[in-house]
């Protein structure tokens, strides 16, 4: 039997340490860390450190990267967390670069740790930031042929059908053809559909926890807007945030010439407290003609109703 206390710290242990440090800094929003990382040269005189992205921070802390992060990435992350904790009064001071030797030593130990007994493959350390760099979702396939260390998406990134409760399905179906199209797409593992369902549900203040659970699922599958929405307010997700996203989705549908889809999101935005979205609904109905007092006559966009026209 292996004594866990005697086992050298490995990659999983290092990621756990990063998470513990992040928690000790009061979980600063990922986007705030990204903003601070743009100014590390001015703050600490450390040139060449990578700019963080919210998606990359999420993936590293969630253990979704195949390798431990590079030394430069770790330095950026630690400096940004410390800075934010000091700015918000969580820490009495900002130790700056004096804390980096400790973290670099922990990283080297994780890189040098032998693989688990069940895995015969040698452990691989992350390449330098110059060869790998920050990657946005979807970049991997384009970069694999030219970048030797481009990350191959893990199996967990594959589309996974979403399981919604009957009450959730009923609520979304009440949004008409677009709602039913979203349910079909979510059943096939479409993360953008899952995000949109979360927005529609989340405009109801009583269903905020349900929306958060769905957003977390979409974010874990790599949907960037879901991650941004979860990270938008340190105080936590609420129905007003969902309403703002619903309004934005309604505006986008209007531009794309899909009034039925726009109505679904504007209706949700009004439910979430953005009463000005009601004027958008009025405009759509007015443009349709006074003989159509109900929005149900509006034809959905082709992308939302592929079977339109069938009897």
- 154 vs 16: CA distance, rounded Å: 20
Instruction: Identify the burial level of 41 via C-beta atoms within 10 angstroms of its C-beta, where 0-12 means exposed, 13-18 middle and 19 or more buried.
Output: exposed
What span, in angstroms and rounded, lies between the C-alpha atoms of 185 and 191?
A: 8
Q: Which has the minimum average pLDDT: 34-43, 153-162, 284-293?
A: 153-162
Query: CA angle 173-249-255, nearest 5°?
Result: 115
| Model confidence at 16: pLDDT above 90 | yes
- Does residue 199 contact residue 168 with C-beta atoms inside 8 Å? no
pLDDT digits 0-9 by tens, 66-123: 788 888 899 999 999 999 999 999 999 999 999 999 999 999 998 887 765 544 444 3
For the chain, the domains span 8-115, 166-297
Has residue 25 got a pLDDT over 80? yes
Torsions phi, psi for 135 (to 5 deg): -125, 130
Provide the pLDDT confidence category of residue 9 given band limits of 50, 70 and 90.
Answer: low
- Global pTM value: 0.51
For 166-292, where are the alpha helices, taking DSSP H only?
A: 166-173, 177-187, 191-202, 208-220, 224-231, 239-255, 259-271, 277-288
CA dist 43 and 75 (Å) reads: 13
* Section 29-42 average pLDDT: 90
User: For residues 17 and 298, what is the distance between their CA atoms, to the nearest angstrom?
Assistant: 54
Question: What's phi and psi for 116, nearest 5 deg?
Answer: -60, 155
Q: What angle do CA 174, 302, 225 make, to 5 degrees?
A: 70
Statement: residue 5 has pLDDT above 60: no
């Amino acid at each position: 039997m292996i004594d866990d206390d005697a086992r050298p710290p490995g990659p999983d242990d290092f990621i756990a340490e990063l998470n513990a440090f992040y928690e000790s800094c009061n979980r600063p929003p990922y986007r705030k860390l990204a903003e601070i990382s743009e100014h590390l040269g001015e703050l600490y005189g450390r040139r060449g450190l990578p700019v963080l992205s919210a998606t990359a921070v999420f993936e590293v802390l969630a253990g979704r990267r195949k390798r431990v992060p590079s030394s430069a990435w770790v330095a950026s992350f630690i400096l940004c967390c410390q800075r934010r904790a000091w700015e918000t009064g969580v820490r009495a001071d900002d130790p700056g670069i004096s804390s980096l030797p400790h973290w670099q030593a922990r990283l080297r130990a994780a890189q040098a740790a032998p693989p688990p007994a069940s895995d015969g493959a040698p452990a691989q350390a992350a390449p330098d930031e110059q060869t790998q760099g920050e990657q946005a979702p979807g970049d991997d396939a384009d970069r694999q042929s030219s970048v030797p260390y481009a990350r191959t998406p893990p199996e967990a990134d594959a589309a996974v059908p979403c399981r919604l409760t009957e009450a959730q399905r009923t609520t979304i179906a009440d949004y008409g053809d677009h709602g039913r199209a979203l349910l079909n797409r979510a059943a096939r593992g479409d993360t953008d559909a899952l995000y949109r369902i979360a927005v529609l549900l989340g405009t109801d203040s009583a269903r905020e926890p349900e929306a958060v659970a769905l957003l977390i699922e979409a974010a874990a599958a790599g949907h960037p807007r879901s991650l941004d929405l979860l990270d938008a307010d340190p105080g936590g997700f609420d129905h007003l945030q969902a309403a703002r996203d619903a309004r934005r989705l309604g505006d986008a549908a209007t531009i794309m010439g899909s009034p039925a889809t726009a109505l679904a999101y504007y209706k949700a935005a009004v439910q979430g407290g953005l009463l000005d979205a009601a004027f958008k609904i009025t405009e759509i109905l007015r443009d349709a003609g006074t003989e159509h007092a109900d929005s149900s006559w509006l034809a959905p966009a082709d992308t939302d109703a592929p079977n339109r026209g069938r009897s």
